[in-house]
Amino acid sequence: MQTPAFTHLVDTLPSTVPFVGPEAQERQLERAFLARIGANESVFGPSPQVKSAIADMAGDVWRYGDPEHFDLKAALAAKHGVSPHHIVSGEGIDGILGNLVRLFVGPGVAVVTSDGAYPTFNYHVNGFGGDLVKVPFDGDSEDPAALIQMAQSVKARLVYLSNPNNPMGSFHPRARIEEMVAALPDGCLLCLDEAYADFVDEDELPDIPVDHDRVIRLRTFSKAYGLAGIRIGYAITNAPLANAFNKIRNHFGVNSIAQTAAVAALADTGHQSSVRKAVAAALERVAGIAQANGCIGLPTRTNFIAVDCMQDGAFARRVLQALIGQGIFVRMPGVAPLDRCIRISAGTKSDLDALEAAFPKALQTAVVT
């Protein structure tokens, strides 16, 4: 008998996944991590109001969530001073990126990103058969001018940039991004991933007209709001593009608890400030731990810090493995020369106590190996 055939494209896709979760590593290690500071989650948790909202919703989960996300979009529109028609909400930035790529990318369509930028974006581009073209980082920053130049040269339909940057923590001032927007080639959409924008001040972010026909900005509740597990992200873009998502999205895909929790999270601005303060203090401590061990915490405008281990990628990879072996979950950039660093998220006091104890041993192990 003949097995049903996958599409040709699916046959060409590898079985790799963008990220192995810490739970899989724990199952392999057969013990729980002491510190979970590898995925840029917010260890400071969600707002108490969010926790109450979730508990209050427990009996109501028998109802499908509103497929139009009306209340959430209204709250987001108010926050950003735009109309709900400019908002796309979905199952995290990852879910929105998947649909965004599906709207624009098919075999033969060129897409430009930076070598070492967000792997899940690449996963989606490959998943829809796009031709992914990568430009190098400029030092520890994505390079807007090089991205634009490459986009022009390969006639890219999408160009991706994260600001603040993941995995390095660097940040382009607003003028730099505004220049990039002004230089966008015809027919090319800037996919501006602002997952970490909640860690900078609003007036540091670029001013881009919401009806610009070639920009989409992505935001998330997974970082500053402490809602990674609940899966909710959103995009701000021109109304026709926002509406196009309705042609392909999983309309009932965003769960009802996520919608309610996100609305509650937006309302608690006090919690947002306190998280920013706690993150800054935690990252300062991580930088201190790095320095005390002859390493350097790079400047960061996110809730994580790239720690330069002052040698090559092979060395940093050994440091990472030795940290994981000691129960510290961290990750690192995938390509040189960024991979001289390991990436450490802001942690609680107990997380960072564990890091402080483990880090010198990890460096020692990495040297000796």
With a CB cutoff of 8 Å and minimum separation 6, the contacts of 239 are 83, 85, 86, 211
Query: Which parts of 224-243 interact with a copy of itself (CB under 8 A)?
Result: 226-231, 243
Residue in 29, 34, 45, 134 binding a copy of itself, rule: CB under 8 A: 45
> Among residue numbers 83 through 112, which ones bind a copy of itself (CB under 8 A)?
91-92, 94-95, 98, 102-106, 109
- Our finding on whether 31 is near a copy of itself (CB under 8 A) is no
- Nearest one of 235, 264, 198, 172 to 42, comparing CA atoms: 198
Minimal distance, residue 358 CB to a copy of itself, in Å: 20
The CA-atom distances, in angstroms, between 138 and each of 142, 146, 340 are 6, 9, 15
* φ and ψ at residue 53, rounded to 5 degrees: -60, -40
The answer to whether 122 touches 143, Cβ cutoff 8 Å, is no
Of 319, 267, 315, 305, the residue nearest 79 (C-alpha): 267
Q: Taking CB under 8 A as the rule, does residue 252 contact a copy of itself?
A: yes
271 is an interface residue for a copy of itself by CB under 8 A: no
Which one of 30, 81, 182, 247 is in contact with a copy of itself (CB under 8 A)? 247
Helices and strands (DSSP H and E) totals, the chain: 13, 12
264 binds a copy of itself (CB under 8 A): no
End-to-end CA distance of the chain: 52
Q: Does 314 interact with a copy of itself (rule: CB under 8 A)? A: no
CB of residue 69 to a copy of itself, shortest distance in Å = 10
Which one of residues 35, 37, 44, 160 is an interface residue with a copy of itself (CB under 8 A)? 44
What is the x/- site pattern for a copy of itself, positions 109-148, by CB under 8 A?
A: x-----------------x---------------------
Return the SS3 of 341. strand
Identified binder of a copy of itself from the candidate list 35, 36, 82, 180, rule CB under 8 A: 36
Cα dist from 54 to 59, 187, 266, 269, whole Å: 10, 42, 14, 18
192 lies in the binding site for a copy of itself (CB under 8 A): no
**Does residue 151 touch a copy of itself according to CB under 8 A?**
no
CA distance 47 to 35: 21
Binding span for a copy of itself by CB under 8 A among 57-65, 266-274, 278-286, 335-343: 57-65
Q: Closest approach of Cβ 189 to a copy of itself, in Å?
A: 4
